[in-house]
Structure 1
Amino acid sequence: MSISMYQASVPVFVRQLSALSHILEKAAAHAAAQGTDPATYGQLRMAPDMLPLTSQVFIAADTAKGCAARLAGVEAPAFPDTEVTLAELQARIAKTLDYLKTIAPAQIDGSEAREVVLKLRSGDRHFTGIDYLLSFALPNFFFHVTTAYDLLRHQGVPLGKLDYLGAR
């Protein structure tokens, strides 16, 4: 039995974004329990040159919707990076999940050889669909979800591996 490009992408993004949403819910509950302003969480970073929590969520969501769109050969919706609160970040994830649900397996399956071109500041990067998914999009996506988890865990939010894995 083989796995399809769709199975290796959209359901993975949906599951992990749902887990990230749960993680943000736990962060909001922790802030309330500790009497902490949850707005401070948005600017969390572990190093001065690191992007804050808000950016980690933006990039995870954008990577998921961008990957699905590129593999499907369609234009991804643009979401401005204006969210600052945990509730707004939750809404960003929900919009991304709603978009991912519009992508049908038939749009992505068979995209292994589709050319994917990323326009980066350092110049264009060219991939085949499968190389883009496996060597760029998925690692980038998981990096940013993991970083968001780590920032909140470091802040004392009671998170564990099962929260990250989405097993509730």
Structure 2
Amino acid sequence: MLPTTVFIHPLRQLALLLRKIYQYDAALLESALTPEQFPLWQQAQTAIGFSLRACCPLCEQGKPEFGQPRPSWADLQQQIHLTIEFLQSLKAEDFAGWQQKRIETMAGFAELELTGEQFVYLYALPNFYFHCSMVYAIARAQQVPLSKADFDGWHQYPAGFSFLR
């Protein structure tokens, strides 16, 4: 499985999640869980960026910049669309030997040197899902009616279902 594959489905889910949040309350774009954390728009943009940050060095491509400095809801949707298109354009031969490639990156102020496999599975994917989860958490903290199915696209629950009943 190519590294791009693990990002495309969750990016599509992120687009759906952002649509639901926007429809509930367009003002939530600037909401954050706490004042010192990124707002929703930046959490989304960081998640999207991690999919590119993960895949581009593995196939020795420059990371395209699709984001806007302070994106609107439409800008985030466009960024997801362009990112998915880009990821889909990458070919298997572009990733030859990706698991063993040496990847140097920064994690905050920490300098890391990882194999491609470590980089994807132990660094990029956890960070990608962390920021996707923050989008979901901010929305839930603002009372947006979402379920696990909105996050992952797989779960199904009957209307009105609650684990607390």
The TM-score by the shorter chain falls in which range?
0.7 to 0.9
Quote the offset at 1:79 in angstroms: 3.1
Which of residues 100, 114, 117 is equivalent to 2:101? 114
Residue deviations 1:11-56 (CA, integer Å, cap 9, x gap): 221100100000011112212xxxxxx1x21111111110111111
Are the counterparts in 2 of residues 56 and 144 from structure 1 also a CA contact under 8 Å? yes
> Which structure has the higher relative contact order (CA within 8 Å, separation 6+)?
1
Asked if residue 99 in structure 1 is aligned to residue 79 in structure 2, the reply is: no
Aligned length: 155
Are the counterparts in 2 of residues 42 and 84 from structure 1 also a CA contact under 8 Å? no
Are the counterparts in 2 of residues 115 and 127 from structure 1 also a CA contact under 8 Å? yes
Quote the offset at 1:119 in angstroms: 4.2
Quote the offset at 1:142 in angstroms: 0.3
Distance in 2 (CA, whole Å) between partners of 1:117 and 1:162 is: 35
Identity of aligned residues (%): 25
Distance in 1 (CA, whole Å) between partners of 2:41 and 2:32 is: 10
- Consecutive unaligned residues of structure 1, counting only runs of 5 or more, are 32-37
Letter in 1 for 2:116: G
Distance in 1 (CA, whole Å) between partners of 2:10 and 2:59 is: 20
**CA RMSD across the alignment:** 1.7
| Gap change, CA 1:84 and 1:76, over 3 Å in 2 | closer
Quote the offset at 1:112 in angstroms: 0.8
Asked if residue 49 in structure 1 is aligned to residue 36 in structure 2, the reply is: yes
Q: TM-score, normalised by structure 1?
A: 0.84
Which of residues 119, 137, 140 is equivalent to 2:124? 137
Quote the offset at 1:140 in angstroms: 0.3
Runs of 4+ in 1 over 6 A off after TM superposition: none
Are the counterparts in 1 of residues 33 and 137 from structure 2 also a CA contact under 8 Å? no
Which of residues 149, 153, 157 is equivalent to 1:166? 153
Asked if residue 125 in structure 1 is aligned to residue 112 in structure 2, the reply is: yes
